[in-house]
Amino acid sequence: MDNKDNYFKSEEFKDILHRYEEAENSGRHEYLGSDELTDIAEYYYNLGKNKESRSTLAYAISLHPGAAMPLVFRGRMALIDDHDVEKAKIYVNQITDQLNLDCLYLHAEIMIAENNSEGADRFLHEKIECIDEDDVPDYILDIAMMFMDYNLPDKAQEWLERSDETDLMDYRETKARIAFARGDYKQSEMIFEQLLDEDPYSGRYWNSLASTQFMSNRINDSITSSEYSIAINPNDEDALLNKANGLFSLGNYVEAAKYYERLGKLCPKEGTAELFIGNCLLNTGKAEEALAHYQKALQLMDKNNVYTIEGLQCLAFTYSQLGMTDKAMEAIDMALQQKGVNENEIMVVRGHILLEHGSIKEAIECFVKALRATAFSHEIFFRIAISVFDCGYPKIAYRMFKAYTEIHDQPGDEGLAYLAACCARMNKKEEYLKYLKQACERNPLEARKIFADDFPIGMDPKDYYDYEVSKNTVNGNDDR
């Protein structure tokens, strides 16, 4: 179990929390140290009690002006939760000891938030000369972890290579996370398994292992790892999400929805769980029920400005399935108005809906517009091919996927499973088997996504080809 979780369950912390809450309930203030108050704020924050967390931090900052811990925590909340860089700067600049390590990290995080990771890197390099020599090993490892938190694996690797604390669990965890970010799931999994041998009650390690197994297409193993994490903490949001995603990937939409619902109860003010429940319902043919969840998701997302564009696209597809084309187009128009939207991707969605309802000429105009605007981007071409396939034009999609896969002929590349599906619909049996085998070997995640309903529930994609060949042989059609 993580050290902070252990501390929050300790009698020492419970006594501090009790004194604080008793004082608050009686209308007086208990004098506590800045570190103690920050711990209470973090405890509330982890429970989703943001109002109480902020109130505790405000008290800590007023009681201990210039103290690093409460100001750093509040600055990070401003940066990460409020997306308010200027407010974060106000808090960090109030810290008396500007060479406090956490203060330095927050300065760097603010630069990263301003898309200046190189500046953050230089700033942190310059400060090495200013801090206590005994703090340097922790400083180097903390920075590697910080860059990884912001999904900057190359920077994280550069700092990690400066560390000689190779036996520390934080070092090895960071190494595993870097490997994961670079697609080396085998190494990542190996390290997390070693860490779990040493600390089998770490939910974080189990969740990370589940993610690596999911990306390696070992979905059942991923689900099992998530279950260990859930057994440690039934309210672990990451574990619930991982298990739900695993079940969804296996096509078990009913069970997946149950875990998304549990996640939603833990995060009632967020819209992501509602969005995923809608996806489950849509995949089981319950478009009207899905619509209600997408609408609720968007109401919550509108407050949080998270996943709004994705939610509007889901809403558009659902309206389209229900024959409400005008409503679908309204959702598309709303998506185009969102900050940071990729207009060309949305143009493909518009084309998909038009094609789905037989407006072929208008659909082609949308597709061509998106291609021209992106200098005939391969990614946009691939998205259009999927739309053409989904809308029931396998012959055209076949030519598109064949062209795409000839250019993208590397393990892990997308398109082969779609190409195999086109061949199946066109009764090209020999080509179907050829591309099915390649798809399952090179991109099993895509193969499962496309063919899960065509094979026994839970079957691993690596077995699809042999199953299909044996089925054809039994039927007297050995097309090998």
Cα–Cα dist 95/420, whole Å? 60
126 CB-contact burial (10 Å; exposed 0-12 / middle 13-18 / buried 19+): exposed
Residues 238-249 as b/e (b if ≥16 CB within 10 A, e otherwise) read: bbbbbbbbbbbb
Give the pLDDT of residue 420.
96
- The residue among 303, 299, 253, 249 whose CA lies nearest residue 274 is 299
User: How much is the pLDDT for 149?
Assistant: 95
Distance CA 456, CA 81 (A): 43
Instruction: Give me the pLDDT at residue 473, please.
Output: 67
CA distance readout (Å), 322 to 290, 317, 318, 357: 11, 9, 6, 11
pLDDT tens string for the chain (480 positions)? 466 778 898 999 999 999 999 998 988 888 999 999 999 999 999 888 899 999 999 999 999 999 999 999 999 999 998 889 999 999 999 999 999 999 999 999 999 999 999 999 999 999 999 999 999 999 999 999 999 999 999 999 999 999 999 999 999 999 999 999 999 999 999 999 999 999 999 999 999 999 999 999 899 999 999 999 999 999 999 999 999 999 999 889 999 999 999 999 998 888 899 999 999 999 999 999 999 999 999 998 876 666 788 999 999 999 999 999 999 999 999 999 988 889 999 999 999 999 999 999 999 999 999 999 999 999 999 999 999 999 999 999 999 999 999 887 776 678 999 999 999 999 999 999 999 999 999 999 899 989 988 998 778 899 999 999 988 765 555 544
CB-neighbour burial class of residue 278 (10 A; exposed 0-12, middle 13-18, buried 19+): buried
List alpha helices for 268-393, DSSP H: 272-283, 287-304, 308-321, 325-336, 343-356, 360-373, 378-390
Task: Using CB atoms within 10 Å of the CB of residue 358, give its burial: 0 to 12 exposed, 13 to 18 middle, 19+ buried.
Answer: exposed
Q: How many residues does the chain have?
A: 480
Q: Is 181 exposed, middle or buried (0-12, 13-18, 19+ CB in 10 A)?
A: middle
* Amino acid letter, 307: Y
CB 446 within 8 A of CB 416: yes
2 token code pair: 């993580």
What pLDDT is stored for residue 303 in this prediction?
Answer: 67
Quickly list DSSP for 155-193: HHHHHHTT---TTSHHHHHHHHHHHHHTT-HHHHHHHHH
At residue 24, φ and ψ (nearest 5 deg) are: -60, -40
Note the pLDDT of residue 95: 97
**How far is Cα 179 from Cα 47, in angstroms, rounded to an integer?**
31
* Confidence at residue 479, expressed as pLDDT on a 0 to 100 scale: 46
pLDDT of the residue at 1? 44
Res 427: pLDDT: 94
